[in-house]
Amino acid sequence: GWLALQGCRLWEIHVVLGNEACDLDSAVSALALAYFLAKGIPAASLIFRDEIDLGGLHRAGLLSLTLVDHHVLPGADAALEEAVVEVLDHRPLERDRAAGCQVTAEPVGSCATLVTERIAQGPPGVLDRPTAALLHGTILLDCVNLSPAAGKVTPRDVACVSLLEARFPELPARDAVFEALQAAKFDVSGLTTEQMLRKDLKALSGDELVLAVSAIYVDLETFLRRPGLLQDLDAFCQARGYAGLVAMTISFNEHNEASRQLAFWGGVQPLLSCTLPPKSPRFWGRGGVPATALPPLQVCRALEEASAPSLQLQPLPSPWSCVGAYAQGNALASRKKVLPILRAALGGPGAAGGPEEDVGPPPTPMNSLVEDCPLAQAVPPLCPQDVLERVSRIAAGQPPASPK
Ligand SMILES: [Mn+2]
């Protein structure tokens, strides 16, 4: 689910492309920057990556590409790198771009901050209230309501939120916007366990096995008490060839303070048994029922003993003897920080710091663009129904409606 927007100028087609996850930051950055560049977005120009033959356009010499909220195209689109004319991203640059490619790469909390700065430097009049509302909400969401304790916000994010509020004093209050978006983002009601595990999934390959690492958006106790959890974990890992799964939960209290917990399940095979002491009992029985209560040592030890950063893990009671559960005292250690620890524990070719594998295009997080929320009415030329219609067409395998 990448969101792409095209604007045609003579024969050239300019596509503004967000990242594969199509999270709120990515979608809003693509929308707002395309709107700024094109001064209007007809519904037919809202397209998803799957609906357009970017390779064909590029081979015909017609494509120019702006990347927002990411800056490295995945392997399948590597040939399009030559078409990239501009990058706006808030991650450290992993790749040098060709001379002539305009690069804005700044470590701010939200890519929407970079888009806001870009629009604010442009001609007056482009920044209208709906665009301001989209950018305002996105920065607040990404920067956890500008809370310094959450470790995301930078002075430039604060400056952009203040700039938007100064120009549009009627924007809804920060707290109300943040709370509505946060609730929508973490609303997993209606998802099956398999969908929760798949929603935000990375896979790490070691020498002989693959470990799944899922971000889970409910507190750990709620997750561990889901009916049929062990069978679902087992089916999920067997179907995908994972030897085990680390679930990293994140939940928020009424003061919007994040708390993180972590669980490890070692699967039905004796994961990493070669590293266990020789007389150690066989840990895992058949069908996901463990022979003993001990979780596999290597992964748990690596997590418990990690020092860069320390996760400050405290064991929690677990309803399942085969599931190791922890409170993570260091709430700032996100999955990005935990992945290298697990990668080192697994060994193998990726242990030196190779990138984790994204497991297919991540499904689109539920977000405000298509849900009923304060921003749903934000962009007049694009109504939420347009987005939903596109998604259902893709889901049904139908070709996109031809542009009017
Ligand atoms: Mn982002």
| 8 Å CB contact between 122 and 36 | yes
Chain segment 66-112, per-residue pLDDT in tens: 999 999 888 889 999 999 999 999 988 887 887 889 999 999 999 99
| 8 Å CB contact between 138 and 119 | no
Question: According to the model, what pLDDT value does residue 18 have?
Answer: 93
Question: According to the model, what pLDDT value does residue 81 have?
Answer: 93
| 8 Å CB contact between 310 and 330 | yes
For the chain, what are the domain ranges? Answer: 3-185+366-395, 193-358
Please report the DSSP string for 155-219 in residue order. HHHHHHHHHHHHH-TTSPPHHHHHHHHHHHHT--TT--HHHHHHHTEEEEE-SS-EEEEEEESS-
| 8 Å CB contact between 297 and 276 | yes
Residue 174 has pLDDT above 90, yes or no: yes
Going from the Cα of 38 to the center of ligand 1, the distance in angstroms, rounded, reads 22
Three-class DSSP category at 144: coil
Phi and psi at 205, nearest 5°, equal -100, 130
The most confident of 326-340, 343-357, 382-396, by mean pLDDT: 326-340
Going from the Cα of 26 to the center of ligand 1, the distance in angstroms, rounded, reads 6
Phi and psi based region of residue 125 (left: phi greater than 0; alpha: psi -120 to 50; beta: remaining): left
What would the mean pLDDT of 377-383 be, rounded to a whole number? 44
Chain segment 137-171, per-residue pLDDT in tens: 999 999 999 999 888 999 999 999 999 999 999 99
Both tokens of residue 250?
């994140």
What would the mean pLDDT of 337-357 be, rounded to a whole number? 68
What would the mean pLDDT of 375-402 be, rounded to a whole number? 55
Question: According to the model, what pLDDT value does residue 372 have?
Answer: 37
Tell which residue, 39, 83, 36, has the closest CA to residue 61. 83
The strand pair at 84-89 and 102-105 is best described as parallel
Give just the sign of the alpha carbon dihedral 349, 354, 360, 362: positive
Going from the Cα of 366 to the center of ligand 1, the distance in angstroms, rounded, reads 15
- Distance in angstroms (rounded) separating the CA atoms of residues 348 and 320: 30
Q: Give Cβ neighbours of residue 367 (< 8 Å, ≥ 6 apart).
A: 23, 24, 27, 181, 184, 185
Going from the Cα of 294 to the center of ligand 1, the distance in angstroms, rounded, reads 39
Going from the Cα of 106 to the center of ligand 1, the distance in angstroms, rounded, reads 11
Going from the Cα of 110 to the center of ligand 1, the distance in angstroms, rounded, reads 5
Going from the Cα of 169 to the center of ligand 1, the distance in angstroms, rounded, reads 25
Question: According to the model, what pLDDT value does residue 388 have?
Answer: 65
Distances (CA, A) of 3 to 24, 67, 204, 282, 391: 10, 11, 27, 48, 11
The most confident of 214-223, 331-340, 353-362, by mean pLDDT: 214-223
Going from the Cα of 348 to the center of ligand 1, the distance in angstroms, rounded, reads 30
Average pLDDT value for the chain: 80
This model's pTM is above 0.95 = no
Going from the Cα of 70 to the center of ligand 1, the distance in angstroms, rounded, reads 8
Q: How confident is the model at residue 370 (pLDDT cuts 50, 70, 90)?
A: very low
Question: Measured between alpha carbons, how far apart are the two ends of the chain, in Å?
Answer: 23
For the chain, percent of residues with pLDDT exceeding 90: 43
For the chain, percent of residues with pLDDT exceeding 70: 75
Q: How confident is the model at residue 282 (pLDDT cuts 50, 70, 90)?
A: very low
Top-level class of domain 193-358: alpha beta
Question: According to the model, what pLDDT value does residue 101 have?
Answer: 92
Residue bearing the bigger pLDDT, 302 or 398: 302
Going from the Cα of 113 to the center of ligand 1, the distance in angstroms, rounded, reads 10
Chain segment 28-51, per-residue pLDDT in tens: 999 999 989 888 877 777 888 888
Going from the Cα of 157 to the center of ligand 1, the distance in angstroms, rounded, reads 12
Going from the Cα of 339 to the center of ligand 1, the distance in angstroms, rounded, reads 19
Going from the Cα of 47 to the center of ligand 1, the distance in angstroms, rounded, reads 20
Residue bearing the bigger pLDDT, 124 or 27: 27
Going from the Cα of 389 to the center of ligand 1, the distance in angstroms, rounded, reads 25
- Distance in angstroms (rounded) separating the CA atoms of residues 196 and 213: 12
- Distance in angstroms (rounded) separating the CA atoms of residues 79 and 94: 17
Element containing residue 343 per DSSP (H, E): helix 335-346
Chain segment 203-260, per-residue pLDDT in tens: 888 777 888 999 998 899 999 999 999 999 999 999 998 888 999 999 888 777 789 9
Kindly report the CATH number that applies to the domain delimited by 3-185+366-395: 3.90.1640.10
What would the mean pLDDT of 164-180 be, rounded to a whole number? 96
Element containing residue 392 per DSSP (H, E): helix 384-395
Residue 288 has pLDDT above 70, yes or no: no
Going from the Cα of 21 to the center of ligand 1, the distance in angstroms, rounded, reads 10
Residue bearing the bigger pLDDT, 182 or 158: 158
Question: According to the model, what pLDDT value does residue 345 have?
Answer: 83
Q: How confident is the model at residue 396 (pLDDT cuts 50, 70, 90)?
A: low
What would the mean pLDDT of 367-389 be, rounded to a whole number? 45
Question: According to the model, what pLDDT value does residue 383 have?
Answer: 55
- Name the strands in the sheet holding 244-252, side by side, starting at the edge strand that comes first in the sequence: 313-315, 323-328, 258-265, 244-252, 210-216, 201-205, 357-358
Going from the Cα of 25 to the center of ligand 1, the distance in angstroms, rounded, reads 5
Q: How confident is the model at residue 387 (pLDDT cuts 50, 70, 90)?
A: low
Alpha-helical segments (H) within 7-124: 24-38, 54-59, 111-121
The most confident of 13-17, 92-96, 158-162, 291-295, by mean pLDDT: 158-162
Question: According to the model, what pLDDT value does residue 290 have?
Answer: 38
Going from the Cα of 69 to the center of ligand 1, the distance in angstroms, rounded, reads 5
Going from the Cα of 202 to the center of ligand 1, the distance in angstroms, rounded, reads 17
- Name the strands in the sheet holding 46-48, side by side, starting at the edge strand that comes first in the sequence: 46-48, 3-9, 12-17, 63-68, 84-89, 102-105
Q: How confident is the model at residue 385 (pLDDT cuts 50, 70, 90)?
A: low
Give just the sign of the alpha carbon dihedral 250, 253, 259, 260: negative
Going from the Cα of 249 to the center of ligand 1, the distance in angstroms, rounded, reads 20
Going from the Cα of 46 to the center of ligand 1, the distance in angstroms, rounded, reads 20
Residue 283 has pLDDT above 60, yes or no: no
Residue bearing the bigger pLDDT, 290 or 181: 181
Question: According to the model, what pLDDT value does residue 404 have?
Answer: 36
